[in-house]
Chain A
Amino acid sequence: MSKDIVLLNKEPFIRMVKRDSITTVKAWFIRMIAVILALIVAALVIVAITKQNPIEVYLGMIDGAVGSKRRLWVTIREILAMLCIAVGLTPAFKMKFWNIGAEGQILMGGTAAAAFMIYFSDKLPSGILLIVIIIVSSIAGLIWGIIPAFFKAYFNTNETLFTLMLNYVAMQIVTFCIVFWENPTGSNTVGIINSATKAGWFPSLFGNVYGLNVVLVLLLTTAIAIYMKYSKHGYEISVVGESEFTAEYAGINVKKVILRTMMVSGAICGFAGSLIVSGASHTISTSTAGGRGFTAIIVAWMAKFNPIAMILVSALLIFMQQGSVQIATQFGLNENASDIITGIIIFFLIGCEFFINYQVELRKKSKEGK
């Protein structure tokens, strides 16, 4: 027994204490530290692999992301696509509807856009064609969003599995379409659609190829920010997300809200599909979404579903991604090297949330001192 007590008579060395609240400044300070730590760790990895001066490597990254006007605009284009998807996921996630089907919704939107570009390029004037493309791609995403919502609302199916599986269905549909759209025949790819006429392409705006992308996505971001914060729909979404019992008590038709919100969410992701196909790549393949539907979840989550913060988070992530693609080529590494660096940064950014919520306390000096 006495041995027990000796054993017990030790305070734990480290304890985690949940923070009551934290000032915004302090929280951002912790996040800054996380970014710096991530850069240091990434530098160590780089040194280990490339034996290069890490500062040079980071300069290479900056160069890769914003080094020339073209690179800068490619980075912006990618930021916009990421932002658009993250904004689209926001209503669903705010409602605690775990929509991990953005990939599929993007693909469906992209497929619809590609289809209209191919089949209607000579039937509709280009201005109208573009509007039609945006509308049908949104509708395609909407349909892909409302299917799991319907089953969730009426049969309480698990939306995570449902949306995930629909991603694969969407991929199969794209593969199927490629068979018909192959160009040139036998290449098993669609190639650049309407490369000569540019029908259905986003036109240049303010003298820039991606000007329209900027305008549309920023408008959408503002609209969703207002929708979530100041509209009755946004209020209903938050209540349903917090507690379905409270929602029923408040007289909210929960089923209706689930369906409506997933329509909005899916439609925006579908629109992101047209943004990628019509507004950037001008082609379609199974990798059109390219994992962005998943990365956008991280973006939305790290931004705490604040659409304005999402601009910053997606900018940071895309900057790193584009930069690491550059260093991969510059130093002769393969593409996975850029994934490693992105991975390290995401790891630190997500990890630091723990320190924002919890405080670490070390064991105090021994009590004899008192």
Chain B
Amino acid sequence: MEQVNAIELKHVTKRFGEVTANDNVSLTLKKGEILSILGENGSGKTTLMNMLSGIYFPDEGEIRINGNAVTIRSPKDSFSLGIGMIHQHFKLINILTAAENIILGLPGEKKIKMPQVVEEINALTRKYGFDLNPMQKIYDMSVSQKQTVEIIKVLYRGADILILDEPTAVLTPHETTKLFQVLKNMKEDGKSIIIITHKLNEVLELSDRISVLRKGTYINTVETKDATVESLTEMMVGEKVSLDIKRTKPTNQKKRIEVCNINCRNKEGLPVLTDASFIAYSGEILGVAGISGSGQKELLESIAGLQKLESGQIFYHTPEETIEDLTKLSADVIKEKGVRLAFVPEDRLGMGLVGSMDLTDNMMIRSYKDGRSFLVDRKKPRKLASKIVEQLKVVTPKLETPVRRLSGGNVQKVLVGREIALNPTVLMVAYPVRGLDINSSYTIYNLLNEEKKKGHAVICVIEDLDVLLELCDRILVLNSGKITGVVDARSTNKEELGLLMTGTGEEKHKDE
């Protein structure tokens, strides 16, 4: 007898204007299996899943759920077909409890019987091995707990097909292991699961089969047991890629940035950095590890003069061995002092670049003040823009294209290129390869390594621990705004980093 598939996509095509996000994609999810959808950014994974969850509507093609041809016009349609999607960005209401969030929007009697709901939720958590208190408020939760709420939300609604979009991007290694166990339990129970990711190791560990997309087209589906990291990379990129980062020994190390006991608070008045002190040397790459939101952003922004400090001091040691006090100076004053500090912020289009402006105007962000003329000089920025496009192989129709139209990788190349063009003595980068494909990522790693060889101090926040271990010389670990350790990248390992990231290895909750 032929087995009915949970999901069948047949020749699905989706276009956005001139861009074809999915081109004739056919794919099947068998009942009770974990299927990984693998592909670089921009390969159309999320678009494909958004068509299943009713956010987009396919231009062509057919979707079959449990053997029946269906049309999914809205997320509601998708729910009623038993599809539950867990998005990368959580959609929860902070001031409500987990249970309240879970039943939000569900039809039912006028009076909510909360104890009964809680009991049902507890039954679900016990069944699959989650760890959740239904009465806890969302704002009290860690990222991984919020994710748990999202998963239970769709299970509570009776979903038997789950789609998870990059679920491990925000998790620590320990939390990832826990999540995978839960997913395996659900599979045992007969649920069908799709997981979207680009982390190869996880794919190999978790899934039964792997489907690969590249630039919107479907490449192939393989059994996990027949796949290796190399073969999958080749399928994703379309060519063999060498995955080595050439790390050189740091030379001629001198103090460059000295941070002493800085404290700062966020807009809500909660402390985000507590007594942080460290030194960054010239000629080395200092990595910063930590669960997202542990103070990485504030640490870099403090040095760049974009963060208000409550107390503490920041010193810059010039190559001429004099000392500049950067404490409480704003970005423009730091620049006027002649400190060549480059900063690639996490929010590329919200801080580093202006999305609606073209490449030339974005180059000017750093240099428009130069010269005494009332009018701006666009000649030099234009030259710089075309130089960056050429050297870093930025794909753009023309220099006048708004950067918002470029893909994530190209946006990042423009930004990193501009910052490196400042010829900085200190280069700070936050999540430099987030959202980038493998080739672009390695381009960025090489650029960082070159800066290091030039004797500049590089500080980089990277979420992927494997990369941190391979790229950096030393790794600074943050946990809820405290520096829990600075370790030698050559002798440490993921487990040690994981322990430092979570403090004692156990989850800590903010109890305010």
Q: Which residues of A contact B (CB under 8 A)?
A: 4-5, 8-12, 15, 17-21, 230-236, 238-239, 242-243, 245-246, 248-253
Contact = CB atoms under 8 A, between A and B. Distances in A.
Interface residues of B, number: 41
A249 B71 contact: no
Contacts of A11: 57, 71, 73
Nearest to B331: A251
B330 A251 contact: yes
Contacts of A239: 354, 365
Given A235-B368, A246-B353, A246-B354, A20 B69 contact: no
A242 B16 contact: no
B343 A20 contact: no
A249 to B, nearest CB: 5
A245 B347 contact: yes
Given A5-B70, A231-B374, A232-B375, A20 B17 contact: yes
Interface string B329-343: 011100100000001
A9 B365 contact: no
Contacts of B68: 5
Contact of A20 (B19, B335, B356): B19
Given A231-B376, A242-B355, A250-B365, A18 B70 contact: no
Contacts of B108: none
Interface string B351-382: 11111110001001110110001111000000
B348 to A, nearest CB: 10
29 contacts: A5-B70, A8-B73, A9-B69, A10-B71, A11-B57, A11-B73, A20-B19, A230-B375, A231-B375, A235-B361, A235-B364, A236-B368, A238-B354, A242-B355, A242-B357, A243-B354, A245-B350, A245-B351, A246-B350, A246-B352, A246-B353, A246-B365, A249-B306, A249-B343, A250-B365, A250-B366, A251-B331, A251-B332, A251-B335
A21 B345 CA distance: 29
Given A239-B354, A249-B331, A18 B365 contact: no
Interface in B141-197: none
A245 B354 CA distance: 10
A252 B368 CA distance: 10
B77 A8 contact: yes
A11 B77 CA distance: 12
A191 to B, nearest CB: 44
B376 A232 contact: yes
Nearest to A226: B375
A12 B74 CA distance: 10
A177 B357 CA distance: 47
B57 A21 contact: no
B439 interface: no
Contacts of B353: 246
Contacts of A238: 354, 357, 361
B203 interface: no
A243 B351 contact: yes
B299 interface: no
B80 interface: yes
A235 B376 contact: yes
Contacts of A232: 368-369, 373-376
B239 interface: no
Nearest to A11: B71
Nearest to A9: B71
Contacts of A21: 17-18
Contacts of B304: 249
Contacts of A15: 57
B77 A20 contact: no
Contact of A19 (B17, B70, B330, B366): B17
B285 interface: no
Nearest to B366: A250
Nearest to B335: A251
Nearest to A20: B17
B160 to A, nearest CB: 13
Closest 8 CB pairs of A and B: A20-B17, A251-B332, A245-B351, A250-B365, A251-B331, A242-B354, A230-B375, A9-B71
Contacts of A243: 350-351, 354
